[in-house]
Amino acid sequence: MKTYAAPLIGIGLSLCLCLKASVPRLALVVVFDQMRGDYLWRWQPFWKGGFQKLTAEGFAYRNCFIRHAATVTCAGHATISTGAPPEQHGISGNTIVAKCCKRFLIGCAEDTTGVPSTIWLQLPAVGDLLRQQFPGAKVVSLSHKARAAIMMGGHTPTAVLWLDPEHGKLVSMPGLSKPRWLDEWNRLYSPQQYAGKVWYPSLPAALAPSDSVPWEPRFPGGTCSFPHRVPTEEAEFWDGFLLSPYSVEWLFNAARNAVTHERLGMDSIPDLLWISISTTDFLGHQFGPDSRELLELYLACDRALGEFIRFLDSAVGRSQYVLVLTSDHGVAPIPEMLARSSPGAYPGIDAGRISLDDLTTFLHRKLTQAFGPRAGIFWLSLAPPLLLLHRNLIEGAGVRPDDVRDSLQLWLTNYEGIGIVVPDVALRNSISHTATGVSDSLLALLRRTFPPSQTADLLLYPRPFWIFGTEAATTHGTPYDYDRFVPLVFFGNTVTGGSSAEPTSPEDIAPTIATLLGVSIPTATGKALLLRSAERTQP
């Protein structure tokens, strides 16, 4: 097992702490991918299951904002597990700049050959330090997405599992021992059992949002409106399954089996369980945050989480576990919902979408006009928010790369819908907002996002309520509040009901878990939360 040079609490003291009744035997973090911070309270009247329990009996931090600009899956999960920003843990996006390699851009959770890996994660996760201090501790991570499971599990997990549609089952991280129960579970609980299942809405139409909103695409193999049927055809089955509440049910089933067969929380040595629900992200992109589909999905998540809590109460005991609910990022409203006058829309707000094809054509034309026929879009790699120059090609044409960068910055700044264009020098040097056109607070978010080795020649973000892309109804990935606002609730063990307006961040989760388990995490920048407030109020 890899170890980390860190000042840890003494083993003898920690073992004593572990045996105290107030120290949980199991800490678990449930991440609902793309769950914006307002959802938990916006739909509170509808909760009857897990979310109802958490808002009534848990301690909620209502002012939780991500403190970096990389509001995407990989960076978000890495921050939750390490307690630090991307600038320090090294995961600055789902795709990161790898200047050591022939490829400019590489997947955040794979090595240079494409094998799943934590090679780019530069800090220990809280599970790594837990296992270093308590060698008998188990750290298990599950998700629909590989990158979410990998970033949560850290460098030395017991098991990391995710859904692989290519193999049609839950698969194990290469290099780790496959759980003995996994093959049998996959045989008994194949996702294909849900083929043909029909998803009916549970809310009366009078209480639900419109079942058809602007830019809402059809459900795979079906229409834009309920009911939705999981396709039986192989070509569309996986898309339909992963957009349905049945995939949430399936993953919580896997989590129950992990708790039972790995005996998590069933001895005096503390364990850690990570669960990341990706269905909420998949469906959020497809139908948007104001859709009936998303509300109905969260109602199903509420039921599934409630059943899982009842299982934990029976298998582990409420006083013996602490559960954290959070998210890796939020999401933007569908631009057309804001900019058009239509049923369910909010007209009059400056909002829109930027076609990457149109932007690429524009940049190609401007480059050839400014630098001649030897120039073109092949001089750069564009993967918003990153724009990287192929400096060898530019220099080979007898042009200074910095001149190209400055020209691109000017053109992009004046392109409709783009709101932020910042050169890498603004992150590496102490340049104020007057030189970049963005506020100091925004520059701070950007600087906390990119390690020096991963900066691009230019960073570009859309204006508020604008998005890049025309394939999905909406997306995330900006430094704006709607992408950085996430829920944060603690439940179980000695936690009592209440809430706080104290500013918090997902960076605070790992230090809080570490403190509860009696583990030191000196590499974290977040703070250990007290789970109480000077003005304790019921949610």
* Residue 431: both structure tokens together: 């340049």
Is the CB of residue 507 less than 8 Å from the CB of residue 83?
yes
In the prediction, which pLDDT does 421 show?
Answer: 96
Phi, psi of 64 (to 5 degrees): -105, 115
- DSSP H or E segment with residue 304: helix 292-315
Q: What's the CA gap between 107 and 151, in Å, rounded? A: 12
Together in a domain, 234 and 155: yes
Q: Shortest CA distance to 153 belongs to which of 305, 275, 269, 326?
A: 275
Q: What's the CA gap between 353 and 337, in Å, rounded? A: 12
User: What is the CATH number for 410?
Assistant: 3.30.1360.150
533, part of any domain: no
- Domain boundary residue, one of 464, 498, 533: 464
Together in a domain, 160 and 261: yes
- DSSP H or E segment with residue 282: helix 279-287
Together in a domain, 128 and 236: yes
* Residue 401: both structure tokens together: 């790369």
Q: Give the DSSP letter of residue 454.
A: G
pLDDT along the chain (539 residues), means of 10: 42 37 91 98 97 98 98 98 98 88 81 95 98 97 98 98 97 97 97 98 93 88 96 95 98 98 97 98 97 98 98 98 98 88 64 96 98 96 95 96 97 97 83 65 94 89 96 96 98 96 98 97 97 56
Pairing, β 105-107 against β 139-143: unpaired
- Domain boundary residue, one of 464, 490, 505: 464
Q: Shortest CA distance to 29 belongs to which of 443, 437, 308?
A: 308
Together in a domain, 27 and 157: yes
Together in a domain, 296 and 359: no
Q: Give the DSSP letter of residue 291.
A: S
* Residue 482: both structure tokens together: 């709607």
Using alpha carbons, list the distances in angstroms from residue 228 to 35, 209, 238, 282: 22, 16, 14, 15
Together in a domain, 17 and 165: yes
410, part of any domain: yes
137, part of any domain: yes
Together in a domain, 53 and 166: yes
Beta strand segments in 25-158, E: 26-32, 59-61, 95-97, 105-107, 139-143
- Contact partners, residue 430, CB within 8 Å, separation at least 6: none
Burial of 211 (0-12, 13-18, 19+ CB in 10 A): middle
Together in a domain, 288 and 362: no
- Contact partners, residue 230, CB within 8 Å, separation at least 6: 194, 195, 196, 197, 198, 199, 237, 240, 241, 244, 246
Please give the tally of structural domains in the chain: 2
Together in a domain, 285 and 388: no
Together in a domain, 284 and 242: yes
476, part of any domain: no
434, part of any domain: yes
User: What is the CATH number for 504?
Assistant: 3.40.720.10
In the prediction, which pLDDT does 344 show?
Answer: 56
Together in a domain, 286 and 399: no
525, part of any domain: no
Is the CB of residue 112 less than 8 Å from the CB of residue 247?
no
**Strands ordered across the beta sheet of 159-164:** 169-172, 159-164, 139-143, 271-277, 26-32, 321-326, 488-492, 59-61, 498-500
51, part of any domain: yes
Its sign, for the CA torsion 491, 40, 206, 218, is negative
Together in a domain, 140 and 22: yes
Is the CB of residue 326 less than 8 Å from the CB of residue 31?
yes
314, part of any domain: yes
pTM (2 decimals)? 0.93
For residue 397, the enclosing domain spans 352-464
